[in-house]
Amino acid sequence: MKRTALFGLCAAGVAALAACGVKLIESSETDLFVLVDASGTYAANMDSAVQASRLMAVQLAPKDTITFAQISSCSFSDENVVLRSTLPSTPSRAAMRKQDIFRQLDQYRDTFQATSYTDIRGALKYASFELAQSGKDAKYIVVFSDMVEDTAPDCDTRDLAIDLTGITVIATNVTKLRSDSANPEAYFDRLAKWEEIVTSAGGIWVLAPNTEQVLESIS
C-alpha cells in the first residue's frame, strides 16, 4: 500500500514537472561557427580575430562545437575550414581539447595567406548549412570582417539564397575603410544592408563592437 502510494506520488511529481514544461532530461549544446575575413583589406586584423576566437573557445562548455573558417575568394568550400571540434563531455578533456584548439589557431594565424576577394555570402551559406546539420540547440555565426562583399568573377555569389533560421549572426570588429572616413554613411549603409540580408534570411542580427559583447552574446 505504502509502495503504491510512493509510486503514485513520484508519478504525480513527474507529471507535474512535465505539465510545467520542465523536461526531465535535456541537453543545451552550442554550435559556434567563426568566420574570419582573410582578404587583404582585413588581414591586418587576423591577430585580434584569433585572440577573440580563443576567448570564445574557452567559454564553451563540454559537448559544444566550434568551427573556425576563413572567408576567402570563394568561401562555400570545405577547404576554408581551419578547424572543427566538438568538446568532450568531461571538463578535463574539454580543457585539453581547448588547448589543442589554441595551438591550431596560432598555427593558422602564422601561416595564412591573404585572399584577393571576399565572398561573405558564400561563407554564410556554408556556415548555415553546417549548423543546420549539427542539430544543436544554440547556433551562432561570428563574423570578423569589414563586411565589404567583393566577389570574384568566377565565383559570383551575390544572388545566393541563404537560410539562417534559428541562427544568430554576430558581426564583430567590423573595421572602417579609408573611404568610410569621407563618407561615414557608407559604413552604416553596409551594416544596414547585412542586417537586412540576415533578418530576411530568418536569422538574428547582432552587432558586437568588441570581444566582451561577443562573449556576452554567446553565453
Partner 1 sequence: MPDWFSTWPEWAQWVAYLVIVALVLTLLWVARPNLHNVLKAVFFGISHWLSRISIWFGAAGESMYDQYCETVAAHRAEEYQQRLYRHNARIANTVSVDTGNVMDATGKLEVSAISIEGAARSLSDVNLSREAELEIKRAMADKDTAKNTVKLVQNVKTALSAKVLEVRPDIQKIRQELPALQRNIERLHESEQKLSRAAESINADLAEFSEAIHSDDRRAVAEKESIVIPWVLALLVMSIALFGVFLNFFLIQRPMAEIVGDDIRVVGLSLPTTAAIVVIFLEAAAGIVLMESLRITRLMKISELSDSMRRVFLVAAVVVLLGFSAFEALLAFQREALIELDQRTQELAQGIDPVAGTAPVVDAGDAAAGEEDDAHENGKSLSFALWAQVILAVIIPWLLATAAIPLETVVQNLWFILRLAAHQILMFLSVLSKVLATAIRSFGLFLLRLYDLIIFLPLAIEQMVRRTHKPTRGDYS
CB 64 within 8 A of CB 94: no
Nearest by Cα to 52 from 217, 219, 212, 216: 212
* Position 104 contacts partner 1 (CB under 8 A): no
Of the listed pieces 2-10, 16-24, 35-43, 70-78, which binds partner 1 according to CB under 8 A?
A: 16-24
Site for partner 1 in 21-40 (CB under 8 A): 22-29
CA 42 to CA 24: how far, in whole Å? 47
- Residue number with CB closer to partner 1 (4 or 27): 27
Q: Tell me how far, at minimum, the Cβ of 87 lies from partner 1, in Å.
A: 9
* Position 55 contacts partner 1 (CB under 8 A): yes
Provide the grid cell at 170.
554576430
Q: C-alpha distances in angstroms, 186 versus 69, 180, 196, 202, 205?
A: 27, 6, 15, 25, 19
* Residue from 44, 95, 160, 192 in contact with partner 1 (CB under 8 A): 95
* Three-state secondary-structure class, residue 74: coil
CA 140 to CA 217: how far, in whole Å? 9
* Residue from 5, 19, 92, 133 in contact with partner 1 (CB under 8 A): 92
What residues make contact with partner 1 under the rule CB under 8 A? 17, 22-29, 51, 54-55, 57-58, 61-63, 89-92, 94-96, 98-99, 102
